[in-house]
Every structure is written in structure tokens, then in C-alpha cells.
């Protein structure tokens, strides 16, 4: 097997994109981490927006999967920080939240989220949205 084919076979077609998963509920963090790691992604985690912002500056991920309702700094505030920072404004953000009212969804997109996915979610839907956000537009 050639080296490129071997790399693809061992890590899946997604390579080793780095994803930061941010949620204050440990069970959700572990579930999302497990789903994404099975797809070949490298996953870092944070438990709130303040911790996430620090992690983003320390080791910029390729994508952030982010809850809305968290202590210290909520997800919408974090997205707004990212969108107003020229160095981070293009960082893809998938909001993964229990907030499912139309006004919540509009607030999420208004803050700058790329995708808004509500809990409970289907793992295959999460994986598909992650792939879309990480696939370069040709």
C-alpha cells in the first residue's frame, strides 16, 4: 500500500483535524469526544467559554463544537469574541445545544455560528456537519 493510501486508511478520510469540544456537562463532552475520535479526529476539550478561549489561543483547533449554556462565559459570547478577532474570525463553530426555540437558533446564527445543532442529536448528523465544516470549498 502506498504511504498516502496507508495514511488515509489508518485515520479515515478526515485526516487528523483538531476539534475543540466545549460543554460544562462531562457526559456530553465524553460522548462527542468518542464520536469524533472514532472518525479519526484529534479532540481537545474545555468546560466553559473562558477555558475554551484560552485553549483556542494556546492550540488553535480546526473547528469548535460548542454548547450555549455554560458558566463564566456562554457559547454565544465566545462565538462573538471569535468573530471579532481577525486572527480567529474564520474559525468554524458548530453550536451544539439544548436551546431549540426559533429565537435561540436565530441568536446562534446572529452571533456567528456556522451550524446550529440541537440536543438530543444523532451522532451521524454531528459527523456530517463536522465533515462539511472541515471540507475546503473548491
Domain for residue 4, yes or no?
no
Domain that holds residue 29: 16-134
Residue 79's φ and ψ, nearest 5 degrees, are: -60, -45
Domain for residue 38, yes or no?
yes
Say if residue 12's pLDDT is above 90.
no
Q: What pLDDT shows up at residue 136?
A: 75
CB 22 within 8 A of CB 32: no
Share of the chain above pLDDT 90, in %: 86
- pLDDT tens for each residue of 53-105: 999 999 999 999 999 999 999 999 999 999 999 999 999 999 999 999 999 99
Q: What pLDDT shows up at residue 2?
A: 34
Helix (H, G, I), strand (E, B) or coil at 96: strand
Domain containing residue 67: CATH number: 3.40.50.2300
Q: How many whole angstroms separate alpha carbon 45 and alpha carbon 55?
A: 8
Q: What is the mean pLDDT of the chain?
A: 90
| pTM for the model | 0.87
Q: What pLDDT shows up at residue 14?
A: 44
Domain for residue 106, yes or no?
yes
Stated length of the chain: 138
Domain for residue 40, yes or no?
yes
Q: How many domains does the chain have?
A: 1
Look at 61 and 6; give whichever has higher pLDDT.
Answer: 61
Amino acid at each position: 500500500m502506498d504511504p498516502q493510501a496507508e495514511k488515509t486508511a489508518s485515520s479515515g478520510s478526515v485526516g487528523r483535524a483538531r476539534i475543540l469540544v466545549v460543554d460544562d456537562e462531562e457526559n456530553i463532552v465524553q460522548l462527542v469526544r468518542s464520536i469524533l475520535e472514532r472518525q479519526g479526529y484529534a479532540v481537545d476539550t474545555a468546560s466553559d467559554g473562558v477555558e475554551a478561549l484560552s485553549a483556542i489561543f494556546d492550540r488553535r483547533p480546526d473547528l469548535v463544537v460548542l454548547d450555549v449554556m455554560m458558566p463564566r462565559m456562554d457559547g454565544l459570547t465566545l462565538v462573538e469574541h471569535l468573530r471579532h478577532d481577525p486572527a480567529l474570525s474564520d474559525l468554524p463553530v458548530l453550536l451544539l445545544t439544548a436551546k431549540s426555540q426559533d429565537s435561540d437558533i436565530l441568536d446562534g446564527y446572529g452571533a456567528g455560528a456556522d451550524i446550529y445543532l440541537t440536543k438530543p442529536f444523532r451522532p451521524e448528523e454531528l459527523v456530517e456537519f463536522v465533515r462539511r465544516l472541515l471540507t475546503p470549498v473548491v
